[in-house]
Structure 1
Amino acid sequence: MRVALGAFGLSDDLNSNAFVRKILEGGTQDTDALANKLSDVRYREFSKAFGYGNIGGARTGSSSWARGITARFRQLEFEVAVGNQDQSMRLAMDAKRNMPDIAKQTGTDETRWFKIMGNPPMRQVFETALGLPPSFAQADLDTQVAEFSDRAKRQLGLDSLSALSDTAIQDAVIERFLIRDQIKAFQVQSAGSVALTLLQSAPRLF
């Protein structure tokens, strides 16, 4: 369970046995499957990778499959270790790893944006990199896709998400994310420092 869930960044569900079982048994081929109903696309990737509820059955008998899951788990565990020291760097590493997969997705750019929006760590990286507030998630989905796409074109020259296969584009996204994240952290810290200074300089009432 630890390896299986950790390989997809779902370690928070380690003690949710019944929930995980339902995700796996439901597969991904039925539109009513639980994995397809959840907004977090990582559950869909998790269920699809194991294949229990899909035609053809479990894929776990292959040694190459086991090596792939193990390698993925080790990579994410490393990112978790990095995140214990610097959460922003963990998010950057996650984005770097996932952007080529987004670029290879079939379908329209709208489909690719939905995949980014459905992956919480990826969404946070792109929201921050493009200067969007967390409250932006409350807008309707079509508005979100249009705004993400427009800002990506204006700020990154990203006409299509297929360009995320280019390491230079990947680095540009991550650089903007890290810079804006640091600015945001500095602003919060500065606001806290100002508040503390005001409190320390205020006359004592008691």
Structure 2
Amino acid sequence: MIISSIVGGLGSSSLVAHTVLNRDLDRYKKIFREDPAIKRETDYLKEKLPQFESLDALADDYRAWQAVTSAFGLDDQAYAKALLKKVVKEGVTDKGAMANRMVDTRYKDMAKFFNYDVLGMVGLQSEKKIADLVDRYETQMFEKAIGESNENLRLAMYFERKIKSVTSMYEVLGDKAMYQVALKMAGLPKEYAQVDIDKQADYFKQKLPLKDLKNPEKLDKLLQSFLARADAENSTAASSPVVQLMQPAVNTGFGPIVTIDPTLFLKM
């Protein structure tokens, strides 16, 4: 897609790419929305959603179901129809509903949006609701396209978008993508995930207070810190002698020959 090509052309620095994209984000999103592949799917959603009389009918339409689940970042779970339908049907009103008991906040987000336990399919078929769903789909696919060239940039943009609606640090800890960003913001290793969840929540509340994460200027600095650390890690990994030795062989036409820098052994 054109967006992944643009990001790829910005070089390997996530920090630079983040700055460039944010400088003219609305224009880049507009370019993405008009991409023929994306427009075909959004047009299909607008046409078909008002026609579904039941959740089963929606789930049985592969194309529409794939787009709807993608709108909540659950495209990797689209195959689990029985689970997702149960999540949607139970909604979030009852504290014991499945969505409220799941750690992954994507399920609750989907159930809350549908509001199926209260309104049924009618709640998904108004013009406003369909427009909101299409917007969610375009946003998710935009970030996914960015991730094709720079996964750390995708994580930063996702965190920046999601933190606006977060009300508890447990929501950050329960969101796999947000948690990755928070760890690097705090300068913590991934092994920190083994620590008791309540202790983690207390630590992050002090280290990354929600009021700071919701302050645009402070959040921007924290995201810069995340991207700088991510770039440094990638740079270190790429320059590792072991990684260089394991680079793919070069095809010369006479068989695979591994190219090795002679000074590499001195470094090792």
TM-score interval, smaller chain: 0.7 to 0.9
CA distance in 2, matches of 1:28, 1:192: 51
Aligned match of 2:116: 52
Tell me how large the CA RMSD over aligned residues is: 2.3
Alignment of 1:52-201 (within 5 A): 52-53=116-117, 55-58=118-121, 59-102=123-166, 105=167, 112-152=168-208, 160-193=209-242, 196=245, 201=265
Deviation at 1:99, TM superposition (A): 2.0
Deviation at 1:194, TM superposition (A): 7.2
Aligned match of 1:35: 99
Q: Identical aligned pairs, as a percentage? A: 28
Does the 8 Å contact 2:89/2:116 carry over to 1? yes
CA distance in 2, matches of 1:83, 1:194: 22
Aligned match of 1:20: 84
Range with bigger deviation, 86-95 or 185-194: 185-194
Gaps of 5+ in 2: 1-64, 246-260
Structure 2 residue 68 is matched with structure 1 residue 4: yes
Q: Give the 3 Å change call, closer, same or farther, for CA 188–56 of structure 1 in structure 2.
A: same
Gaps of 5+ in 1: 106-111, 153-159
CA distance in 2, matches of 1:12, 1:188: 28
- Which protein has the larger Cα radius of gyration, Structure 1 or Structure 2? 2
CA distance in 1, matches of 2:104, 2:189: 19
Does the 8 Å contact 1:99/1:170 carry over to 2? no
Across the two proteins, how many residue pairs are aligned to each other? 186
Deviation at 1:64, TM superposition (A): 0.7
Deviation at 1:66, TM superposition (A): 0.9
Deviation at 1:195, TM superposition (A): 7.4
Counterpart code for 2:210? L
Q: Describe the SS at the equivalent of 2:116.
A: coil
CA distance in 2, matches of 1:56, 1:194: 55
Deviation at 1:35, TM superposition (A): 1.2
Does the 8 Å contact 2:105/2:174 carry over to 1? yes
Aligned match of 2:249: none
Q: TM-score, normalised by structure 2?
A: 0.63
CA distance in 1, matches of 2:204, 2:79: 35
